[in-house]
Amino acid sequence: MNMKDHLYNLMIQMVQEAKSLKRIESNYLAEADCDDCKAFWAKMKEDKEEHIKDLEKLIKGHM
């Protein structure tokens, strides 16, 4: 495995997580029409935020 590929993969995943978080914040939470779905999207938002923090730490460690 090439380290450049590894770092690139981490960075691409961070971008995908950030895009997903943005959609959750700007659309999915507001459009949820029941408490169960609102709770699901709120939990997913927290998960995405944590994933982004974890990825950021990993990326910084490889730079």
Q: Could you give the CA distance from residue 26 to residue 15 in angstroms, rounded to a whole number? A: 16
**pLDDT band per the 50, 70, 90 thresholds, residue 63:** confident
pTM for this structure?
A: 0.87
Please give the DSSP secondary-structure letter assigned to residue 62: T
Place of tokens 């999207």: 41
Gyration radius of the chain over CA positions = 14
The reported pLDDT for the residue numbered 15 is 98
Structural tokens at position 11 = 């960075």
Q: What is the pLDDT of residues 3-47, one digit of tens each?
A: 688 999 999 999 999 999 999 999 999 999 999 999 999 999 999
Residue 24 and residue 51: Cα distance in Å, rounded?
14
